[in-house]
Amino acid sequence: MKQLHHLLLYVVFVVSCSNHNQFISNSGTIVKNAMVSSAHPLASATGLGIMKNGGNAIDAAIATHFALTVVYPQAGNIGGGGFAVIRMNDGTINSLDFREKAPALAHRDMYLSAEGQLNDLQSTHGHMASGVPGSVDGMFTLHQKYGTLPMSELIDPSIEMARRGYVLTPLAAELLNTKQEEFQTYNRWSTPYHSDQNWQAGDTITQPDLAQTLEHIQSNGRDGFYEGIVADQIVAEIKSGNGLISLADLKNYQSVWRKPITGNYRGHQIISMAPPSSGGIALIQLLRGTEGYPIADWGHNSFKTIHLMAELERRVYADRATYLGDPDFIDVPIDKLLDSVYNQKRYIDISFDKATPSVLVSSGKISPSESPETTHISVVDANGNAVAITTTLNSSFGNKVMVKGAGFFLNNEMDDFSSKPGSPNQFGLIGGEANAIAPHKRMLSSMTPTIVTYKDKLKMVVGTPGGSTIITSVYQTLLNVIDHAMGMQEAVNAKRVHHQWYPDEIRVETDALNENVQNDLEKLGHRLRITDKIGRMDCILVLPDGRLEGGADPRGDNTAIGY
């Protein structure tokens, strides 16, 4: 691992001497063989080092994931869950669901008062907000099927970084300073992220407890987390705050292989995640609605393009609220939601003379057959294997509770259930009966790890964090490349918009739309809300000559590197 150690030292130097956001370039990193794009330069370097040492894309993604647990604690995790979409170089595809689950003691009305009022703070902060973590089981399940290097070698770099410490970037220091009050409120002890003074870029954080936890996992495999010392620490922490996760919940957790959601858009095959992620279905629905319109002629972020996207999105998110949930608990009508005739009827009432008020939009009629804090990893190896992994704690730093003695944050994924069907969650998303809380059930997600092929050859690996904006960020990035002929970095840099049915507004990144476009949209009846940032894409594009272009989002410390 000497080569990897030198690579990490180099990246530490680069990160400590520069601010990733001082400039924005439309030209992405271009390499010949292999690439990793993730939310942090040290994590990307870890994955790249694994491939240089003979590992494949899945090995690299697993190592990157564990590294993000150390250096990107607001979303990188062993206390959360996620999804993976895989395409091997022989064309076979697969997807893994390692989403968190509700504890056995969870119940439908657990966040409601006797009067039926929703206590949304309980579902977002503190011990009751946590679902049973799936990330560690997910990594071992991926490795068992596709890994080539020993798992101990994939975890080694993260243990070293946790022990030796890592250097804070300007963005990381700024974020930690905004969370100090919550860390103090929801923890009984001083975590490594507590500070009496403001954190500064260049400060070093060491995490001996987390290093020890990773060593338990390294030595004992999956059982090093779900049983034994670490499991006891998790349950003790949960009980201290009247949470519900038990030792049996941990021991019984299992990831699930699921058939990916697939569809076509202008000759491209889209491979994405199935329920309990809503991402794949919603993305294909949006693309089906877009395909009948000449948005390339209309132009990027033009009045007609934005109006169309908003009208499609409000209808798709209405369907999401009604029909989508855990397929192990409800019958999700996947084929009908993706049916071209259904989608044609769904969008037939879109007018270019006026916006459709969301109050007039309900889910489509189907005959019964009955975070924004997340992080994404895209990897392509020298043999053409590709993996897209999106994981999350839900909110930034999850439920804000760090497991005492174990050094990692727990998730607050219970808020992704419909705690009170018809009421919005922290992202403003409306949920329905299909996503009501039940024991052992997986909560609905917006995560959209996606792989795109063209003429049976790999073309893109994409994904992003962003809570409810994940789906629309991936959607726009695909349109930017396929319709608007952008390169990968240019497509990632491009300003974004978002509509999700309710609240009835188009969220618009600063400077995304010119004044004339804004005025024209408002005349149609759209309400605009300007926001700072939407999404943080990590993407890879295969260029026509076979080289790889990375797209790492300048909205964060995201970094694409390769060789």
Residue 438's Cβ-count burial label (10 Å; 0-12, 13-18, 19+) is middle
The predicted pLDDT at position 107 comes to 94
Q: 517: which 2 tokens?
A: 């476009």
Residue of 374, 375, 391, 469 with catalytic role:
374
* 453 part of the active site: no
pLDDT attached to residue 118: 82
Instruction: Give residue 117's pLDDT.
Output: 86
The domains of the chain are located at 262-372+448-542
The whole-number pLDDT of residue 362 equals 76
Class of 262-372+448-542 per CATH?
mainly alpha
Note the pLDDT of residue 223. 98
Closest by CA position to 84, among listed 99, 106, 72: 99
Q: List the pLDDT tens digit at each of the 563 positions of the chain.
A: 444 454 454 444 344 333 444 445 788 999 999 999 999 999 999 999 999 999 999 999 999 999 999 999 999 999 999 999 999 999 999 999 999 999 999 999 999 988 888 887 899 999 999 999 999 999 999 999 999 999 999 999 999 999 999 999 999 999 999 999 999 999 989 999 999 899 999 999 999 999 999 999 999 999 999 999 999 999 999 999 999 999 999 999 999 999 999 999 999 999 999 999 999 999 999 999 999 999 999 999 999 999 999 999 999 999 998 999 999 999 999 999 999 999 999 999 999 999 999 988 876 554 443 355 799 999 999 999 999 999 999 999 999 999 999 999 999 999 999 877 666 655 555 557 899 999 999 999 999 999 999 999 999 999 999 989 999 999 999 999 999 999 999 999 999 999 999 999 999 999 999 999 999 999 999 999 999 999 999 999 999 999 999 999 999 999 999 99
Q: How far apart are the C-alpha atoms of 481 and 537, rounded to whole Å? A: 13
Closest CA to 445 of 246, 309, 270, 261: 261
Partners of 390 in beta bridges: 83, 376
Contact 448, 466 (CB under 8 A): no
- Position 12 scores a pLDDT of 44
Q: What is the pLDDT of residue 548?
A: 98
Phi, psi at 492, each rounded to 5° = -70, -40
Packed helices 151-164 and 135-146: angle between N→C axes, nearest 10 degrees: 140
Q: Following CA atoms 161, 164, 166, 167 in sequence, which dihedral angle do they give, to the nearest 10 degrees?
A: -160
Bond from prior residue into 503 cis (ω within 30 degrees of 0): yes
What is the model's pLDDT at position 114? 86
The rounded Cα 158 to chain-centroid distance in angstroms is 21
Give the pLDDT of residue 418: 86
Distance separating alpha carbons of residues 279 and 25, to the nearest angstrom: 29
